[in-house]
């Protein structure tokens, strides 16, 4: 058994290694032509890696944001009317989201583990004076919001039920709101004035993921540039007095029990609110679990489309390899005739040309991966996009490049092996 293994290894080295050396010498003898042949593979692989990294980065950012929303959560958002005339029509049917809606939902829907209404507005006056023009948004919520939104408190604490019931003038600042109002100073224990009411800062929230565009009914908003206060604070009563057209609340957050039917719960809530609002269509229901599943399906489709588009470059590279190898067959006709005359078999000639195409594909694939990684990082820096180079994209691009190189090199190799040795020796 040992002698058989040694014999096979010896045959492999005596057959393959000289042909590999010969292939490298042939490619080195035509450096410029070999480089130009590789360019198609290099750019094709780089395009696959770069495009998939951009897609993966964009999708990962959105999916992380959706996961942060909570796959067991349901979010009901009041839908803002585009103009006053539309708002008047809606108000004839519905007065908007209200605490009554929340009570009806809790009565008719089983499996709710936590719930919080929400009311928000952008203040017209703030003290300390903000360091930027992007004013923080005030969120009036209940303590349950912290659990539902998986909100981490970096320092201090969140307000409790007693403070909410008593409408205590306390506030928790988001990370960006802290930087805008207090710079690098610790705000806990200090005061912030929202319009005409003072709030004592009792905590600072940890960082939250944010997306730059609307996501299925959720408006784009910097979730770090927020001021959380008890929902029943007098500042909201003053706000309500300014417009009778405003909803009583503009959002409802629900967290369902583990194992609850999220899709069924969303459908039931939609039916309840459609009846209560007389079909006004002044709300949207966001189910992060459904969004996550849809986003994953979209990502798979996006990846397939990107691979298909980028593979065109690889296909062009494969055609280039075939053209060059066919030209090489003509140039080396006498060489092929000599090899056949001294005993080389057809499969030896096929192997020789396939080794050369494989070297071109492998080298082009490695160079393309390096170029693709560099391009993705450059795009990330210049465009400010999130890019992620995945192992799957590298393996896919490299595998396809080698496969195309071998497939397109097979025809020239077979054609070379079928040359008549006698005619090949007399070829000029």
User: 93-133 pLDDT, tens per residue?
Assistant: 888 888 999 999 999 999 999 999 999 888 888 988 888 88
- Tell me the C-alpha distance between 101 and 377, whole Å: 48
Residue 214 has pLDDT above 70, yes or no: no
Asked whether the beta carbons of 126 and 258 are under 8 A apart, the reply is no
Q: Which position has the higher pLDDT, 233 or 10? A: 233
pLDDT per residue as tens digits for the range 63-94 = 777 777 778 889 998 888 777 788 888 888 88
pTM summary value: 0.66
C-alpha atoms less than 13 angstroms from C-alpha of 114 in its C-beta half-sphere: 17
The percentage of residues in the chain with a pLDDT greater than 90, rounded to a whole number, is 24
pLDDT by residue (tens digit) across 192-202?
999 888 999 99
What pLDDT does residue 381 have?
Answer: 83
Average pLDDT over residues 141-150: 92
Quick one: pLDDT at residue 1? 47
pLDDT class for 290, splitting at 50, 70, 90? confident
Contact 187, 171 (CB under 8 A): no
pLDDT of residue 239: 59
Confidence category of residue 10, pLDDT binned at 50, 70, 90: very low
Confidence of residue 139 (pLDDT cuts 50, 70, 90): very high
Lowest mean per-residue pLDDT among 222-226, 302-306, 387-391: 302-306
| Per-residue pLDDT tens over the stretch 335-390 | 777 777 777 777 778 887 888 888 888 888 889 899 989 988 888 888 777 788 88
User: So what's the pLDDT on residue 53?
Assistant: 86
The secondary structure of 30-43 as a DSSP string is THHHHHHHHHHHHH
The whole-chain average pLDDT of the chain stands at 81
Helix (H), strand (E), coil (C) string for 354-408: HHHHHHHHHHHHHHHHHHHHHHHHHHHHHHCCCCCCCHHHHHHHHHHHHHHHHHH
Token couple for 340 = 């056949």
At 150 the pLDDT is 87
- Residues whose CB falls within 8 Å of the CB of residue 263, separated by 6 or more in sequence, listed in order: 287, 289, 290
pLDDT confidence band for 178 (50 / 70 / 90): very high
pLDDT of residue 7: 46
Nearest one of 78, 115, 119, 71 to 228, comparing CA atoms:
119
pLDDT tens digits, one per residue of 224-247: 999 999 988 767 765 554 455 566
pLDDT score of 272 = 93
Confidence bin at 212 (pLDDT 50/70/90):
low
- pLDDT value at position 219? 64
Average of per-residue pLDDT across 268-282? 90
User: Above 80 in pLDDT, residue 422?
Assistant: no
Tokens 């507005």 -> residue: 121
Average confidence (pLDDT) over 205-223: 71
Of 253 and 343, the one with more pLDDT:
253
Rank 176-185, 212-221, 409-418 by mean pLDDT and report only the highest: 176-185
Which residue from 199, 207, 156 is spatially nearest to 179, judged by alpha carbons? 207
pLDDT at 314 over 70: yes
pLDDT band at 218 (very low <50, low <70, confident <90, very high): low
User: For 31-63, how does the pLDDT look when each residue is reduced to its tens digit (9 = 90+)?
Assistant: 777 788 788 788 888 888 888 888 778 777 777
User: What sign has the CA pseudo-torsion 354, 359, 365, 371?
Assistant: negative
């Amino acid at each position: 058994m040992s002698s058989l293994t040694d014999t096979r290894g010896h045959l492999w080295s005596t057959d393959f290694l000289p042909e590999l050396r010969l292939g490298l010498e042939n490619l080195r003898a035509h450096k410029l032509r070999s480089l130009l042949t590789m360019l198609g593979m290099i750019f094709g692989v780089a395009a696959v890696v770069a495009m998939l990294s951009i897609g993966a980065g964009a999708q990962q950012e959105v999916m992380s944001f959706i996961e942060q929303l909570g796959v067991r959560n349901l979010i009901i958002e009041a839908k803002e009317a585009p103009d006053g005339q539309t708002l008047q029509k809606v108000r004839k049917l519905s007065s908007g989201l209200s605490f009554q809606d929340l009570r009806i939902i809790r009565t008719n829907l089983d499996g709710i583990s936590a719930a919080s209404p929400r009311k928000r507005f952008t203040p017209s006056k703030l003290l300390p004076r903000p360091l930027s023009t992007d004013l923080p948004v005030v969120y009036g919520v209940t303590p349950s919001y912290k659990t539902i939104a998986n909100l981490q408190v970096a320092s201090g604490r969140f307000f409790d039920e007693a403070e909410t019931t008593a409408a205590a003038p306390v506030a928790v600042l988001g990370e960006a709101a802290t930087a805008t109002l207090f710079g690098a100073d610790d705000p806990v224990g200090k005061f912030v004035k929202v319009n005409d009411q003072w709030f004592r800062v009792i905590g600072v929230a940890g960082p939250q993921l944010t997306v730059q565009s609307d996501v299925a009914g959720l408006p784009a908003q910097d979730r770090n540039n927020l001021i959380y206060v008890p929902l029943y604070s007098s500042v909201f009563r003053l706000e309500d007095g300014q417009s009778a057209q405003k909803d009583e609340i503009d959002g409802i957050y629900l967290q369902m029990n583990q194992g609850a039917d999220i899709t069924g719960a969303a459908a039931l809530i939609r039916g309840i609110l459609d009846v209560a609002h007389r079909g006004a269509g002044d709300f949207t229901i966001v189910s992060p679990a459904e969004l996550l599943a849809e986003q994953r399906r979209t990502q798979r489709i996006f990846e397939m489309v990107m691979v298909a588009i980028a593979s065109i470059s690889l296909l062009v590279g494969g055609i280039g390899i075939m053209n060059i190898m066919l030209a090489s067959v003509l140039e080396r006709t006498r060489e092929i005739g000599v090899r056949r005359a001294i005993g080389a078999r057809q499969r030896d000639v096929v192997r020789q040309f396939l080794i050369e195409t494989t070297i071109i594909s492998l080298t082009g694939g490695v160079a393309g991966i390096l170029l693709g990684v560099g391009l993705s990082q450059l795009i990330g820096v210049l465009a400010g996009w999130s890019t992620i180079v995945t192992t799957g994209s590298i393996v896919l691009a490299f595998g396809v490049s080698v496969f195309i190189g071998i497939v397109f090199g097979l025809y020239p190799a077979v054609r070379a092996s079928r040359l008549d040795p006698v005619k090949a020796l007399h070829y000029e």
